[in-house]
Structure 1
């Protein structure tokens, strides 16, 4: 097994670091080369180009921001695509639409490669701790190759059948996350308007049956006004739109995610895109509907 990791960003850097700490020899590449320096210090081999990484690796793990970035890295639609993916397994760790992933998997197979989805649930802190939750879709042989690479990253990995089963599951999980944080922010906004002691409200909710790791973390951020990013508004707004599109494809009646997606979009458009998703509370101050 000779894996490569592409996409050394907010989530990719700690994930790649955990692979290295888990004793996995890793080749890395990023479009901004300086982001690989810390991984090189941990023992990673830094490929000089994306073509060099594909030439050296039989598995390419992609933690990229969106489908456009994936297409650019793979050279999709160009002669470079087949050269890069033929004979290799491409693993998509990020979040895209299920339809995009399914089409990409088909094209990789036609070019002589293999494809799997392995999106993860969790933000920066769980990524640093190796406590993400993984979802895996593909064929059984591909599962066997990928499972050892997910162990240093995830506490649990759930098999979700064929592509795009893992991304559909990831978006369903994000549906719940986006709605949870939106209603938590609304609760704090309403409580603040009513003059309620927010620190005391935090203690009450943290002690009650509704508390979770997400609610405790985001509620603390809301009370303290600390919006340093764990999962940034800009990324969450994009994922919320993917969730909404998948709901519309399925035909379900989903007014809450529609409203939540609008709030995250508003927060991003209001200049809070780099802040943590708890900063969706900024959207309520402008909400007149």
Structure 2
């Protein structure tokens, strides 16, 4: 990255904390900020530095990474009082790893450009495990020269890093990703309930399914949660609920019909409405069990 060695990382949650630590391991000087202090302490213990505010974190940084939950959070972090845009050095890279509305990403890129900043939307897929292992899939929207300048940062946290189009395109591809993941989780849950109802050795059944055409990363990483009935996040239902609203809204705007996706979106919304938003999205399994009259079986 040449002289761009300092990365400010805003948002050290389930995904942001391991991503920031992987940047430290890759040799970057990482300055982290988070609303709660625990993740900052973990970053410092890994060799990074902590900051008491966004403004403090981004001053002098060559690149700013953002990983926060939703569109309003990104807008506040970037354009709020003492936010990134008011404090980052001219020419700095701003890489938003959050999953938000595509039109918000396009607007933030335009506002950033007016401030002399180079902005990318770069949502990720791979969950906590992918963040810890540094093998995230990163779908990037923005200008090619900015993408190339940001490659060292992106490559430090991901293994599949692709420029998919202009600003907002990364978010559009991420919406498609979340649509596919939700459908896979729902069908995996239905398959496991089906196998259990027929008295199959379910772990053996899942193993052989994983070796065939039904195999997937979702099956590999989420089947164990379902078999053990353990749903600690992971990726929270509340966040996937937010993502499915992005998908359904964007599909409606484009005149695209997503009947299966809309159905799964309603199942996820139901879990969230029942107060289960803090569970991993593999907890869709509990809805299939309940609808099948097998809850607690």
TM-score between the two structures when normalised by the length of structure 2:
0.89
2:251 paired residue number: 247
1:274 lines up with 2:274 in the alignment: no
Correspondence list, 1:189-228, <5 A: 189-228=193-232
Aligned to 1:112: 116
Contact kept? 1:171, 1:242, Cα under 8 Å: yes
Partners of 2:84 and 2:207 in 1: how far apart? 53
Structure 1: distance between partners of 2:267 and 2:199: 23
1:119/1:170 contact within 8 Å kept: yes
Q: Do the aligned partners of 2:32 and 2:50 also contact (CA within 8 Å) in 1?
A: yes
Q: 1:174 to 1:23 in 2, by over 3 A?
A: same
* SS class of match (2:35): coil
1:155, 1:252 → 2: CA distance? 31
Question: What SS does the aligned partner of 1:65 have?
Answer: coil
Aligned pair 1:149/2:153, yes or no?
yes
CA RMSD of aligned residues (A): 2.0
Q: Secondary structure at the match of 2:165?
A: coil
In the alignment, the residues of structure 1 paired with residue 211 and residue 168 of structure 2 have an alpha-carbon distance, to the nearest angstrom, of 38
Deviation at 1:216, TM superposition (A): 2.3
Distance 1:54 1:208 in 2: 47
Deviation, structure 1 residue 121: 1.1
Q: Decide which of 79, 82, 87 is 1:84's aligned counterpart.
A: 87
Distance 2:152 2:85 in 1: 26
Match of 1:15 in 2: 19
Matched, 1:126 2:154: no
1:151 match: secondary structure: helix
> Pick from 60, 69, 78: which aligns with 1:65?
69
User: Equivalents in 2 of 1:245, 1:24: separation in Å?
Assistant: 38
Matched ranges for 1:154-165 at <5 A: 154-165=158-169
Unaligned runs of 5+ in 1: none
SS in 1 for 2:64: strand
- Specify whether residues 101 and 284 from structure 1 end up closer, same or farther in structure 2 by C-alpha distance, changes over 3 A only: same
Tell me by how many angstroms 1:287 deviates. Answer: 4.4
Distance 1:211 1:115 in 2: 36
1:18-97 counterparts in 2 under 5 A?
A: 18-76=22-80, 78=81, 82-85=85-88, 87=90, 88-97=92-101
Identify which of 170, 179, 189 aligns with 1:185: 189
User: Normalising by the residue count of structure 1, what TM-score does the alignment of the two structures yield?
Assistant: 0.92
Output one character per residue of 1:23-58: Cα deviation in whole Å (capped at 9) or x when no partner: 111111111123211110122121222111222313
Relative distance call for 1:239 and 1:80 in structure 2 (3 A) is closer
> Contact 1:119 / 1:167 at 8 angstroms: preserved in 2?
yes
Aligned to 1:259: 263
Separation of aligned partners in 2, 1:196 and 1:121: 32
Residue 217 (structure 1) shift: 2.1
